Amino acid sequence: MNLNVIGGELASETSEFQRLNNYCYQAGLHLTLEWKEGQYWLHSDDLKENPIGIQIDHELKRHEEFFKRSSIVKELLARAVGVKSGVRPKILDLTGGLLGDTLLFLSFGCEVVTLERHPIIAFLIKSSLANAHHPALARLKFVEQDAATFLAENPIPEVVFFDPMFEDANERALPKKEMRIFRSFVGQDQDALEILKLSKQLGAKRLVVKRPRLSVELGPSPQLKFEGKATRYDVYFSI
């Protein structure tokens, strides 16, 4: 077995286990999922580290508490996706990952469609969603699908958000634990530029690309940039 499962209902005879195990086998991966606190977590490659997972209710409540003290419309990400007083755009998040940005969009009050194509990460998302009960989740639709297929088959919402796992020579800082683990088995999004071009070609009114602050632009020069201490949002508008 290339996939080791500790606890829960993901038994080796289930079709879901077989699907994930086959993926791990084909990709040459040896991964461990552990059931705890009502959902599955992914073990780190470092035995000294705790496994990673998505604590959806906890994160949404944490955002709620923060925005009781701080204005949403002043947030860099909120400004990048076009959140304004009385304006909450519908957002398509092309790269769900650990739902960090998706949960922020929900906290802003936006309706969100989130995609994730990697089977293991998508499984973690589905497991965490089944364990979550926050009312904001009524505004979230999760789709286990690659961005190119979804973009070609569905209407494009007001805002498309893209956070590709795409490195360049200017990224010198060591990635945090979750990103290091992701890169160890997910790898880079080699089709990132193609997804950017496709989003523009299909008429995304507002395309937001998340990049490390010192990183090169993924594609052509954006019409607008929102730059923080570590992160930059490049914004493209349809003409």
Residue 65 lies in a domain: yes
- Identify whether 159 is part of a domain: yes
**Residue 147 three-state SS:** helix
Q: What is the largest CA-CA distance in the chain?
A: 52
CA angle, 154 as apex, 81 and 53 as ends, to 5°? Answer: 60
The residue ranges of the chain whose pLDDT is under 50 are: 169-174, 187
pLDDT digits (tens, 9 = 90+) for 49-96: 778 899 999 999 999 999 999 999 999 999 999 999 999 999 999 999
pLDDT of the residue at 201: 86
Let me know if residue 35 belongs to a domain. no
Q: 197 is in which domain, residue-wise?
A: 54-237
Residue 98 forms part of a structural domain: yes
Residue 210 lies in a domain: yes
d(CA 144, CA 163): 16
**Per-residue pLDDT at 186:** 54
- pTM of the model as a whole: 0.91
Exposed e or buried b per residue across 156-195, where buried means at least 16 C-beta atoms within 10 angstroms of its C-beta? bbbbbbbbbbbeeeeeeeeeeebeebbeebbeebeebeeb
- CATH classification of the domain holding 120: 3.40.50.150
List pLDDT tens digits, range 5-20.
999 999 999 999 999 9
Q: What pLDDT score was predicted for residue 174? A: 44
pLDDT of residue 183: 59
Q: What is the pLDDT of residue 22?
A: 95
Beta carbons within 10 angstroms of residue 8's beta carbon: 14
Residue 215, pLDDT score:
87
β-bridge mates for residue 235, sequence order: 208, 224
Alpha-carbon distances of 139 from 9, 136, 196, rounded to whole Å:
28, 6, 25
pLDDT at 1: 81
Structural domain contains residue 11: no
| 211 occurs within a structural domain | yes
Q: How many domains does the chain have?
A: 1
Q: Please check whether residue 34 lies inside any domain of the structure.
A: no
Which pLDDT belongs to residue 189?
54
